[in-house]
Amino acid sequence: MSLVTTIYTALFYFATAILLVGVARKIYIYASTPAPLKIPTTPAPTTRSGVVYRMLKEVILFESLFKSNKWIWLFGWTFHMAMWAVLARHLRYFMEPVAGLITLIQPIGIYAGFGMLLGLGGLFARRIFVERIRYISAPSDYLMLLLIIGIAATGLLMKFVEHTDVIAVKAFTLGLVYFDIQPMPEDPILMVHLASVAFLMIIFPISKLLHAPGVFFSPTRNQADNPREQRHLSPWAAELEKN
Amino acid sequence: MAKAKFETPELKEFPEIPAIQVGAMAHSKPFFAKPAHQEDLGFPTELPDDWKEIVIAKMGELLKKYRGLQVYLDTCVKCGACTDKCHYFLGTADPKNMPVARQDLLRAVYRRYFTFAGKYFPKLVGAVDLTKEVLDDWYSYFHQCSQCRRCSVYCPYGIDTAEVSMAAREILDSVGMGQKYCNEIIAKVYKIGNNLGLPGPALIDTMEGIEEDVKDETGIDVKYPVDVVGADVLLVTPSADFFAEPHVDGLIGYGKVFHEAGISWTVSSHASEAANFGMFIGSYENMRKVALRIREAAIELKVKRIVIGECGHAWRVAYSFLNTLAGPFDFLDQNYPIPQHIIEVTHGLIQEGKLTFDKSANDHLNITFHDSCNVARASRMGNTPGGQFRLPREVIKAVANNFYDMAPETIHENTFCCGGGGGLLTDDLIELRVKGAMPRMQALKQVVDEHDVNHLVAICAICKSQFSKTLPYYEFPMDMIGSLHALVSNAIQLGTKD
């Protein structure tokens, strides 16, 4: 086994473990921390199904962001939706035979890469040129965008400029899935692409990328507005009543 | 106190997002609480030597007690959607008044002491060490947030700066850095029963005075009862309603509504306060202690219903928290919402045709309505979402002919805070209050120019006091602000439904 193959194999198992364990740990923390008071931002739905509908609008349409700022919404929504399409397309590297649905979105998935770049570029430009957003940006905020821009750009390079050996790539990724290690193609662009993806997976649970699981636990968005109908009491608040 | 020197913001033709002015409001901070009041609330009286450890420990405790805080400190992506949403930013241009920047004051310390990235790569992720300067910055800027939740409406994750600001104030209290205005008032509630320190006998006097005034004006014996055991309704209203202008005209209106509907009611000298400043300082324990007085009064007076008067944060505490803090209320009449807003009562009676009005009594007024932030974004009225916008407007339209809403981006859940909420309604913060009122004044000016509006109605004691003070800075008459139930009071025809 070549050194590159060893490193990338180890890297991906490590990154996957960090991502899964790290996010699971955070989800456990979010889920087990009580929200002692009813604080939905009103007007809010009064039922559980209403809350599901509100949350779906939030995570699929980015409803609040749309109300807030049309430019951020345009760039942010374009980036995220394009990213889902690209991620879905990449599932083909982890299955054989490729599912019909994945084959179906393959053409969309390819061009969605440009959508990602467009959205990310817009967000990056705003971070630099809008004074207020520049003020609130830390170095990591810029670097995070650059990292994902790098991932999208190297991906597009391999598709449209310097083709990589996708058959070999798929053999490598399938090998990871089935614990049957195959050689990693030593294509520099591919190596940058995959190293960046692994790095993103590693920092996911220790960075603002936690917004992805976090939004589902936001009490202002996931609580039903029914405090008069149903008494809401957290365990630590119930303790106070014993005194 | 030295006379505050500052420029009142100019009202432009169209709302503008100001260019940032770093440090523009760094000098603004409220007076510190006196040791006696800190003690009354169970907080230390001065900064202890080991304050750093206490702050970090307190932050850790709050992160475990409040999921909102934990999620909000983790999830912000610094997208900037909230940066132009805070009335204090729009009025002061200080970048630390942008909601995300305000949260970051706390988040930077959270990252440094509680996250991997902040522990090992602080500069990279904007994490900072906890220093006295940081603590002072917290004191200054977490007392420039009125906890109005406007930012939370627009945040893609619903991050609520009010929650962050409450946590920060609780941490500050835990190291002896309490705020005078809030803590002094909470201490007064414990000792006397209300924010204004109005003792029982004075309350009875005041209510008798109101009875006489109403009798002189209408010729009818409308009762304003105190501590009547066995009344149907316990009315809990902000104590400003007992004598402050224009609040008291609202109280007069509540009494007339009850009288006309034949509902027996009383206020309680034990719970003569709907306000609950325990919420402003983020202290669950203090908020609960204040709220329990309402339960105690309801039991003592053997009432069947609890009705809350016109007050924004009080309605939030009552509607959203009272059942949690002081429930269950199984001893009350379950046929009525517990608690019920006075507007829900009046609105219901209007629907049932139990009240008669002469709308022309309000014809001299061209009216607009200010949605109070805590009513708009943290509570509800009626059975359907958005009732908190619909009901007050329907009552106004039932008692008056001339009503004009302000611009849609400044009402309903988009409403701008009056600038004095969240425990900031104190003269030591007058510059902040005047500047923070700017966006609301801007929207008001528009309807004044377009529709000759001459009357601004609010349903919150803080809004009413704040506008009385700040309207003149923007060259509006001070008495332009009024209570919603003052309009009801003007138009109601007493003695027509016997």
Cα(B205)–Cα(B207) distance, rounded to whole angstroms?
A: 5
Half-sphere exposure of residue A41, counting CA atoms within 13 Å on the CB side? 28
Cβ neighbours of residue B73 closer than 8 Å, sequence gap 6 or more? B63, B103, B106, B107, B110, B164
Cβ contact B156–A67 (<8 Å):
no
Q: Which domains does chain B have, with CATH numbers?
A: 35-184 (1.10.1060), 193-404+453-491 (no CATH)
Summarize pLDDT for A186-216 with one digit per residue, the tens: 999 999 999 999 999 999 999 999 999 999 9
Question: How much is the average pLDDT of B370-392?
Answer: 98
Cβ neighbours of residue B391 closer than 8 Å, sequence gap 6 or more? B341, B343, B344, B347, B381, B382
Summarize pLDDT for B75-110 with one digit per residue, the tens: 999 999 999 999 999 999 999 999 999 999 999 999
Summarize pLDDT for B111-155 with one digit per residue, the tens: 999 999 999 999 999 999 999 999 999 999 999 999 999 999 999
Q: Which residue, among A23, A27, A37, would best test binding to B if mutated, counting the most B CBs under 10 Å from its CB?
A: A37
Partner residue opposite B386 with nearest CB, options A26, A43, A138: A43
Cβ contact B320–A38 (<8 Å):
yes
Question: How much is the average pLDDT of B40-66?
Answer: 97
Cβ contact B68–A220 (<8 Å):
yes
Partner residue opposite A72 with nearest CB, options B79, B152, B377: B79
The answer to whether A66 faces chain B, any CB pair under 8 Å, is no
Instruction: Check residues B197 and B54 and name the one with the higher pLDDT.
Output: B54
Cα(B178)–Cα(B173) distance, rounded to whole angstroms?
A: 5
The distance of B375 to chain A (nearest Cα, Å) reads 9
String of DSSP letters for B117-133: HHHH-HHHHT-----HH
Cβ contact B285–A240 (<8 Å):
yes
Backbone region of residue B480 per phi and psi (left: phi > 0; alpha: psi in -120 to 50; beta: other values): alpha
B227, amino acid identity:
D
Structure tokens at B300: 């003592």
Cβ contact A228–B338 (<8 Å):
yes
What is residue B175's DSSP assignment?
A: T
Structure tokens at A24: 């699971």
- pLDDT for residue B498: 54
Q: Over 70: is that where the pLDDT of B170 sits? A: yes
The answer to whether A130 faces chain B, any CB pair under 8 Å, is yes
Partner residue opposite B154 with nearest CB, options A35, A67, A221: A67
| Chain B residues touching residue A33 (CB < 8 angstroms) | 63-67, 70
- pLDDT for residue B193: 83
> Chain B: residue nearest A240 by CA?
B285
Cβ neighbours of residue A184 closer than 8 Å, sequence gap 6 or more? A2, A4, A5, A8, A9, A172, A191, A194
Cβ contact B324–A227 (<8 Å):
yes
Summarize pLDDT for B16-25 with one digit per residue, the tens: 999 999 999 9
- What's chain B's average pLDDT? 96
| Chain A residues touching residue B328 (CB < 8 angstroms) | 231
* Cross-strand bridge partners of residue B481: B456
| Chain B residues touching residue A220 (CB < 8 angstroms) | 68, 149, 152, 158-160
- When pLDDT is cut at 50, 70 and 90, the band that residue B2 belongs to is very low
The distance of B444 to chain A (nearest Cα, Å) reads 22
The answer to whether A143 faces chain B, any CB pair under 8 Å, is yes
Question: How much is the average pLDDT of B322-345?
Answer: 97
The answer to whether A140 faces chain B, any CB pair under 8 Å, is yes
Cβ contact A43–B388 (<8 Å):
yes
Summarize pLDDT for A53-72 with one digit per residue, the tens: 999 999 999 999 999 999 99
Partner residue opposite B154 with nearest CB, options A68, A136, A228: A68
Cα(B185)–Cα(B162) distance, rounded to whole angstroms?
A: 20
Q: Are B233 and B260 in contact (CB under 8 A)?
A: no
Neighbour count for residue B52 (Cβ, 10 Å): 16
Partner residue opposite A231 with nearest CB, options B75, B117, B324: B324
| Chain B residues touching residue A44 (CB < 8 angstroms) | 380, 385
| Chain B residues touching residue A136 (CB < 8 angstroms) | 78, 80, 83, 95, 98, 100-101, 104
Of the candidates A42, A5, A29, A174, the residue with the CA atom closest to the CA atom of residue B64: A29
Q: Over 60: is that where the pLDDT of B3 sits? A: no
Q: Over 90: is that where the pLDDT of B267 sits? A: yes
Cβ contact B377–A41 (<8 Å):
yes
- When pLDDT is cut at 50, 70 and 90, the band that residue B263 belongs to is very high
Q: Which residue, among B75, B287, B336, B390, would best test binding to A if mutated, counting the most A CBs under 10 Å from its CB?
A: B75
| Chain B residues touching residue A131 (CB < 8 angstroms) | 19-20
Per the omega criterion (within 30 degrees of 0), is the bond before A43 cis? Answer: yes
| Chain B residues touching residue A25 (CB < 8 angstroms) | none
Partner residue opposite B76 with nearest CB, options A45, A130, A208: A208
Cα(B114)–Cα(B111) distance, rounded to whole angstroms?
A: 5
- When pLDDT is cut at 50, 70 and 90, the band that residue B14 belongs to is confident
Structure tokens at B423: 């425990």
| Chain A residues touching residue B70 (CB < 8 angstroms) | 29-30, 33
Q: Output phi, psi for B401, to 5 deg.
A: -95, -30
Summarize pLDDT for A67-118 with one digit per residue, the tens: 999 999 999 999 999 999 999 999 999 999 999 999 999 999 999 999 999 9
Q: Which domains does chain A have, with CATH numbers?
A: 3-36+66-209 (1.20.950.20)
> Chain A: residue nearest B73 by CA?
A208
Among all chains, which residue has been given the structure tokens 């440094």?
B112
Partner residue opposite A220 with nearest CB, options B104, B158, B288: B158
The distance of A216 to chain B (nearest Cα, Å) reads 8
Cα(A192)–Cα(A188) distance, rounded to whole angstroms?
A: 6
- pLDDT for residue B495: 85
Q: Reduce the DSSP state of residue A65 to 3 states and report it.
A: helix
Partner residue opposite A35 with nearest CB, options B67, B84, B100: B67
Number of H helices, E strands in chain A: 12, 0
Summarize pLDDT for B220-242 with one digit per residue, the tens: 999 999 999 999 999 999 999 99
> What is the pairing mode between strands B455-458 and B481-483?
parallel
Q: Are B132 and A147 in contact (CB under 8 A)?
A: no
The distance of B219 to chain A (nearest Cα, Å) reads 39
B460, amino acid identity:
C
Q: What is the ipTM of this complex?
A: 0.96
Question: How much is the average pLDDT of B25-37?
Answer: 96
What is residue A123's DSSP assignment?
A: H
Of the candidates B412, B388, B413, B393, the residue with the CA atom closest to the CA atom of residue B403: B393
Q: Over 70: is that where the pLDDT of B353 sits? A: yes
- When pLDDT is cut at 50, 70 and 90, the band that residue B497 belongs to is low
Partner residue opposite A217 with nearest CB, options B20, B71, B155: B71
Partner residue opposite A76 with nearest CB, options B79, B159, B384: B79
- When pLDDT is cut at 50, 70 and 90, the band that residue B1 belongs to is very low
| Chain B residues touching residue A210 (CB < 8 angstroms) | 74-75
The answer to whether A235 faces chain B, any CB pair under 8 Å, is no
* Longest Cα–Cα distance in chain A: 71
- When pLDDT is cut at 50, 70 and 90, the band that residue B296 belongs to is very high
The answer to whether A147 faces chain B, any CB pair under 8 Å, is no
The answer to whether A61 faces chain B, any CB pair under 8 Å, is no
How many residues would you count in chain A? 243
The answer to whether A38 faces chain B, any CB pair under 8 Å, is yes
Q: Over 60: is that where the pLDDT of B4 sits? A: no
Q: Output phi, psi for B370, to 5 deg.
A: -100, 115
User: What is the separation, in whole angstroms, between the first and last Cα of chain A?
Assistant: 67
Cα(B41)–Cα(B44) distance, rounded to whole angstroms?
A: 9
